[in-house]
Structure 1
Amino acid sequence: MKILFFNTLAIILSIFTNPVKAQEIHHKHNYVVLTNKIPQLQPIFLTAEALAEEDGESFGDFQAIICGATVKDLTDKEAMQTFIEKAEKAAVKVVVCGLSLKKFKVDPKDIPKELEVVANGLLHDFQLQKKGYLSIEL
């Protein structure tokens, strides 16, 4: 009788504790920020670094999406180099809105190759939110 009781208890505990532990181990915190001003990248990078330290192993993906007329400023590759280096250090992927590039007649070839261009920055933001990303717009 004792063996049956302990075997049953072991099975029940394994059923109810393993999924919880698996979720805790694999859960990552992902972030996305939508901005229309390049200078805002600096505080975005600082925020990403602080969250990475706070989250530890749970820190996942961090993306900064640039939309609007400011995409014209991305063509200054020398000025952008500092932001690119800071983005890499902070583990932030900088994404550029393709619709903004078209609207303001900026050729994607004229922006640094380290920046990812997506067809629609707003849509990309919503798609990330649907995947559970925490989001803010500046």
Structure 2
Amino acid sequence: MKSIAKILFFITTIVLFNTSISAQEINDKASLNGIKEAKGVFLIDFTDVKTTAFYLKIIEGTHAGFIKQDVNPDLVLVFIGKTVKYLSTQQDEAFEMENEEDLNSIQNSIKNLAKLGVKLEVCAVATKVFNIDNKTIPKEMSIVADGFISLIGWQTQGYKLVPIF
């Protein structure tokens, strides 16, 4: 009888403990304590289209997370390297057919982020290196002379660097 009581007590304790954990709100309260505005500059340098599409969706979620937690997000995305190839509205036909879903996701994220007020910059050094015509970069994006200079400028203005590659 004592062992059954111990087992029931143990099970009850586990259920109550797990319920209290799952009932806790997941947030960033500690890190956002007293913050009304968050200034971030994302260095985006990916070598594949899937990763680019995935992280742009994640960044949309990050923006929404700030809003949900009553913090005004002031975000800048600076695209460098091979990533600029996936931003172009003109793709090689075979590549476009093979990656249509991810390329569409990227274009949708660009539009969504721009509507949210996120600044989107594309490095002209990278577009030149990867033979991307700047006219094929979506109108929601700005071409900057050098992505590294842009990153340094934003950081000097108080934006915190978020490197993702």
| Fold conserved between structures, TM > 0.5 | yes
Select 2:128's aligned residue among 102, 113, 123: 102
Shift of 1:64: 1.0
Aligned to 2:61: 46
CA distance in 2, matches of 1:48, 1:105: 31
CA contact (8 A) 2:63 2:73 kept: no
AA aligned opposite 1:128? W
Aligned to 1:136: 162
Shift of 1:52: 3.0
Aligned to 2:77: 64
CA distance in 2, matches of 1:96, 1:73: 11
SS at match of 1:34: strand
CA distance in 2, matches of 1:55, 1:122: 31
TM-score with structure 1 setting the length: 0.69
- Describe how 1:1-138 pairs up with structure 2 within 5 A: 28-37=37-46, 38-39=52-53, 40-56=55-71, 59-76=72-89, 79=104, 80-138=106-164
- Structure 1: where are the runs of 5+ without partners? 1-23
Shift of 1:66: 1.0
- In structure 2, do the counterparts of structure 1 residues 85 and 113 end up closer, same or farther at CA, with 3 Å as the change threshold? closer
CA distance in 1, matches of 2:119, 2:65: 16
CA distance in 2, matches of 1:135, 1:89: 22
TM-score with structure 2 setting the length: 0.59
CA distance in 1, matches of 2:152, 2:70: 23
AA aligned opposite 1:53? K
Aligned length: 111
CA distance in 2, matches of 1:124, 1:91: 18
Q: Percent identity?
A: 30
CA contact (8 A) 2:87 2:107 kept: no
CA distance in 1, matches of 2:41, 2:148: 11
Specify which structure has the higher proportion of helix. Answer: 1
- In structure 2, do the counterparts of structure 1 residues 46 and 90 end up closer, same or farther at CA, with 3 Å as the change threshold? farther
AA aligned opposite 2:143? V
CA distance in 1, matches of 2:60, 2:67: 10
